Amino acid sequence: VPLDGGEPRRITPVAFRSLSYAAWSPDGRALALVEDGRLSITAMNEKGEMTGSPRRLSSDLADAPRWSGDSKSLVYLSMDRLKRVFVDTGRTEEIKLQLEWQPEKVAGRLVIHAGRMFDGKSADYHRNLDIVVEGNRIKEVRPHSQSLHTGNWIDATDKTVIPGLFEMHAHQGISLGEKQGRTWLAFGVTSVREPGTDPYEALESREAWESGRRPGPREFFCGRLFDGSRVFYSIAEGLASDAHLDLALERARRLEYDLIKTYVRMPDAAQKKIAAAAHRMGIGTSSHEIYPAAAHGMDGMEHTGATSRRGYSPKLSAMSRSYGDVVEILARSQMNYTPTLILPGVPLILAENPESLKNAQFIALYGEKAAQALATRAVMANNPAFRDSIAAQGKTVLSVLKAGGRVTAGTDSPFLPYGLALQLELQILVRSGFTPFEAIRSATLWSAEAVGVGSDLGSIERGKLADMVIVEGDPLQKIEDTLKVSVTIKNGKAYPIKDLLAAPK
């Protein structure tokens, strides 16, 4: 972009390829770029024009390159290392750092006297119980005993205790700062699955939340989407060669991804290779694709429709109908299905339940203007064709459940507000024919099992991690009551709603 005016001009260092990063040198004589996963530079003249082809500087994977002030070297991330490369010689050195963190150690006993408890498994409540937590784990769930009500205890005799909620499809950033974590907890979300993000930002969030430096949920993430040679979203990485794919898989292993998501332009044969590699790492995979993804061993599928490399949706017709083979493949393969039904369906829920935007969490964390802006989308519900489309998609999701498929709750936030969107997803699942029990199970036990942490999370049982939500009302009768959060307990630590809605001092 000329500083003195004029039209912006596109610079294309490598034709028909997506670049992960580009950074102009301070002296204006070179452009650093990451292409095919490796760091290169290309010479530039005073007009900002390339005067040669890119020259490779590194053979290892490079992320986030930054120039030194004298334009003689670049610093970049390489998986779990920080490195410097000197432009003239190509010599590379590692910058040694001592960066350590420890998970928060929660000590002491916490007792919750639950009038009603949904354990995540049974279709009805257990009543008048004491949930005894030692440190960060549930020591026992037992009939109420007044003798336990000493020290640190919570009186929930007129409330309902449910397992902490999982958000199974959200994409985060660092722009919200510490408020991001509080927002999740305020809506009862104690675990977030993030199928596509900047891996270094996700690691920062995970470590900050797990160490207790900032309040927030558990973080289960995939780094950048594994995509083909060209990408659409900035959280995707164009993998145009086997060598680059191998580097990206090694990054996933070194940074301890929890899953890998392949994206729209990734060829089917490469998707099969990725699924096998992920399983060797002990992690799952997901994509938008249904077949041959199921035959290739992919573990999950996102969205009712969404983009596809085929140029059309193999899952959903133009009239929002799905054929029987979609239901059968999902049910028989046991691929986890996260339909994100609220993403297209939010106008319908807002039209039918406008009170959802008046809850204390949304007003405190997002503000009245955000509520008013979101409320305007309800007008789409007046369109009969729109209502028919959402009903048809909901029918497919219910059919998958009834056929024995595994459905979990996710939203694709930030297209919809974090936290609130998951609560509305539960409402639209019930509207589509799920029982409240089935909807809550989709956001608790089944989500934990899909992520691979079902032995620790997703239900209220002896020995499991103490992630719970205390809500007012009766959510197994009225799903909207899951929104009435009183206290969120994550890792044995209780967060009253008033504390979550207040900015730190």
Alpha-carbon distances, residue 86 vs 13, 54, 454 (angstroms): 21, 16, 48
Q: Which spans in 129-261 are helix H?
A: 179-186, 199-211, 242-254
3-state secondary structure 278-314: HHHHCCEEEECCCCCCCCCCCCEEECCCCCCCCCCCC
Rg for the chain (alpha carbons), in Å?
Answer: 24
| pLDDT tier at 52, thresholds 50, 70, 90 | confident
pLDDT at position 362, please? 96
Q: Who has greater pLDDT, 50 or 131?
A: 131
CATH number for region 21-94: 2.20.25.650
Q: Which spans in 99-240 are helix H?
A: 179-186, 199-211
497 pLDDT higher than 90: yes
pLDDT at position 240, please? 87
Mean pLDDT of the chain: 95
13 pLDDT higher than 90: no
Q: Mean pLDDT lowest for which of 12-21, 125-134, 235-244?
A: 12-21
pTM (two decimals): 0.95
Per-residue pLDDT, averaged over 363-388, amounts to 95
161 pLDDT higher than 80: yes
pLDDT at position 46, please? 85
Per-residue pLDDT, averaged over 276-283, amounts to 97
Q: What are 481's two structure tokens? A: 């009551």
Q: What is the pLDDT of residues 408-434, one digit of tens each?
A: 999 999 999 999 999 999 999 999 999
pLDDT at position 308, please? 84
18 pLDDT higher than 80: no
Measured between alpha carbons, how far apart are the two ends of the chain, in Å?
41
Burial (CB < 10 A; 0-12, 13-18, 19+), residue 249, is buried
* Gap between the Cα atoms of 430 and 394, Å rounded: 9
Name residue 15's amino acid.
A
pLDDT at position 1, please? 79
> Any idea which residue has 């050195």 for tokens?
93
pLDDT at position 61, please? 95
pLDDT at position 453, please? 98
Best CA proximity match to 440, nearest among 407, 416, 463: 407
Per-residue pLDDT, averaged over 157-176, amounts to 95
130 pLDDT higher than 90: yes
Burial (CB < 10 A; 0-12, 13-18, 19+), residue 138, is buried
> Contact at 8 Å (CB) between 328 and 464?
no
Return the half-sphere exposure (C-beta side, CA atoms, 13 A cut-off) of residue 286.
Answer: 27
15 pLDDT higher than 90: no
